[in-house]
Structure 1
Amino acid sequence: MIVQKRRIATVGCAMAAALALTLAPAASPAAGAWQASASAPVIALSTGTLAAPTTTCKTNTGLLGLADSATISWAKVPNATSYRLYVGGSTSFFETSALSFDITGTLIISLLGALIGSSTSITVVARTQNWESAPGNAQVIGPSGLAGVRCQNP
C-alpha cells in the first residue's frame, strides 16, 4: 500500500511537471534582443513664442511739405533678434535688426512694379534663430505726389 501511494505521488508529480512545461511560455531568441540598454546625451527642449510687434506709421514730409516717405516703427519684442517686413501679401521682405524702417516711393515701385494709384500693406514679424512671431498689425501705405508715399491708416 505504501508502494502504491508512492507510485501515485510520483506519477502525479510527473504529470504536474509535464503540464507546467506545456503551459509555460518558451523563451525565444527574439525576447533576448529586446533587453538592451544604452545611454543618450541629455538635450534641452524649449518651447516659446514671440509677441507680434505693434507697429505705427508716420508720414515724412519733404520739400514744400509734401509727403515723400513713410516710417514704420515698433517697440522691441523681448528675445527678438531681427524683424522682417513683408510687403503686401507677397513673400518679398526686408530684414532688419532696427526698430524702424523707412519706405520710399522708389523702394515700393521697384518691389511691386507700378504702384501708382494703389496702396499696399506692410506687416512686421519678430524673429529669433528658432522662432517667428505672428505678423503684427498691418500698416497701409499709398502713393503721394509723383514719387512719394504716405501712411493711409487713420
Structure 2
Amino acid sequence: GRSYGNGIYKAYKADDAEILIFAVASVASESRGVVDRLREEGLKIGLISLKLFRPFPVKYLREAFSKAKLVVVFDRDIGYGYEGILSYELKAALYPSENRPVIRGFIVGLGGRDITPEDLIGGVKKAVSEKDDRNVQMATHTDFIGLKLDQLGFKKGGN
C-alpha cells in the first residue's frame, strides 16, 4: 500500500544526506530512482516528498532540511515571480534559518512533457556544480529542463 510518511512529508534516504531533492507527486516518484543512482556515484543525496502544501508546513520543513547543504527543487509549474511554487515557498520557509542551505530550483515537465531520470540527474549535477556561485544562490535565474526550445527556433540568449 501507499505510505504518506508523517502526513506532511515523506523522507527517502535523507538521514545522512547533504543534498536533498524536494518534489511532489510524480516528480517525487521519479526522484527515488535518481537518488539511488546518484548514491551509487557517491553523492550523499536524499529526497523530501511533500504531502501537504497548505498550510505550508514551515516548522516541519525547517527541521527536515536542517542538515542539508544544498536543496534541489523540481517544480512542474511556474508561480508568480518566475520561479516554481515549491521553490519560492521553501526559500521563504528556510530564509530565517541560521544555517539555511543553498536552494536551486528547476522547472520540469511543463505542458505535460515526460520527465526522465536523466532530466533530474542533469538538474542535480548542475546544482552541485553551481552551488558556490553567488548568482545562483540569489536566484537570479530559473532553469527549465526538457522544453526543447531549440526545436522551435529559439537560441540561447533569446530570439
> Normalising by structure 1, what TM-score?
0.24
Bigger RCO (CA 8 Å, 6+ sep)? 1
CA radius of gyration, larger in: 1
Q: Where is the strand percentage greater, Structure 1 or Structure 2?
A: 1
Q: Where is the helix percentage greater, Structure 1 or Structure 2?
A: 2
